[in-house]
Structure 1
Amino acid sequence: MSAGGSAAAAAVFVWLGMVLAISFLEAPLKFRAPGVTLPIGLGIGRLVFRALNGCEAVLAAVILVGMILATPSTAAMGGFGVALGALIVQLAVVRPALMRRSNAVLAGGSAGSGQSRSRVHYAYVVLEAVKVLALLTTGVLLLT
């Protein structure tokens, strides 16, 4: 495997690990911690996901450069394209809608009073699952 392919594979698995750890472990658990109120949890979540999304963008750039240097299979490039597409939709469409909702909750609006999660939140979770599957597929294909 070339240096570019190795760098791309490593970045894919780092990205995958970050999404699994933050989106599927940290995010749901933080609201169960003693003393964490909804406003505190939302504030923490906003900071954590802003940092995660920034890291994801950097890792996507590393993967892209590695793939340009290594010219992997079309399937690996397609898997990366799916993960990148999911990230772009999250950043451009879903995250701004979630930000509006959390702003309303933090301002004391009705968006958080006794209501369940919004459809936008579920869309974000679905896109995270798509990213996980796409990154796992891409990483395996880069290693084969």
Structure 2
Amino acid sequence: MHAGSAVAAAATFVWLGMVLAISFLEAPLKFRAPGVTLPLGLGIGRLVFRALNACEAVLAVVVIAGLLVGRAGAGVAVAAGVAVVTLAVQVLLVRPALTRRSDQVLAGADGPRSHAHLVYVGLEVAKVVALVVTGVLLFAG
């Protein structure tokens, strides 16, 4: 395996682990912890997901750079591209809607739950699949 591909694989699996740990473990569990109110959970979530997305952006750059240096195949590039585009959609399009809704909840507003949350979760699932495929293809190549 070329060094660039090895770096891309490592960054891919670190990225995958972070998404799985935060989005599918920490996020749902924090609201079940004793004493965590909805406003407190939303505040924690904002901080955690802002940090996660920043780390994801750095890892995405590392993956892309590793793929360019390692001259990865088209399948790997497509899978990694799906993960990167998914992250961009989450950060640029979905998170602003989630922030607006959480601002309303923190201000005391009631109302229906945001569909943006379901979109974000669906994108997380797609990103996880794309990262698994990227990592597996890097190891197989």
TM tier relative to shorter chain? over 0.9
Q: Match of 1:107?
A: 107
2:132 to 120, 132, 136: 136
SS of 2:59's partner is helix
How far did 1:118 drift?
1.6
Q: Match of 2:114?
A: 118
Q: Which sections of structure 1, spanning at least 5 residues, go unmatched?
A: none
Q: Match of 1:13?
A: 13
Instruction: Tell me how far apart the structure 1 counterparts of residues 67 and 60 of structure 2 sit (CA, whole Å).
Output: 10
Q: Match of 1:50?
A: 50
Instruction: Tell me how far apart the structure 2 counterparts of residues 43 and 68 of structure 1 sit (CA, whole Å).
Output: 38
Identity, % of aligned pairs? 64
SS of 2:65's partner is helix
User: How many residues align structurally?
Assistant: 140
How far did 1:3 drift?
1.1
TM-score, normalised to structure 1, is 0.95
Q: Flag as ranges the 4+ runs of structure 1 deviating above 2 A.
A: none
Q: Which amino acid aligns with 1:110?
A: D
Instruction: Tell me how far apart the structure 2 counterparts of residues 122 and 20 of structure 1 sit (CA, whole Å).
Output: 16
Q: Match of 1:72?
A: 72
TM-score, normalised to structure 2, is 0.97
CA-based RMSD of the aligned residues comes to 0.7
Q: Which sections of structure 2, spanning at least 5 residues, go unmatched?
A: none
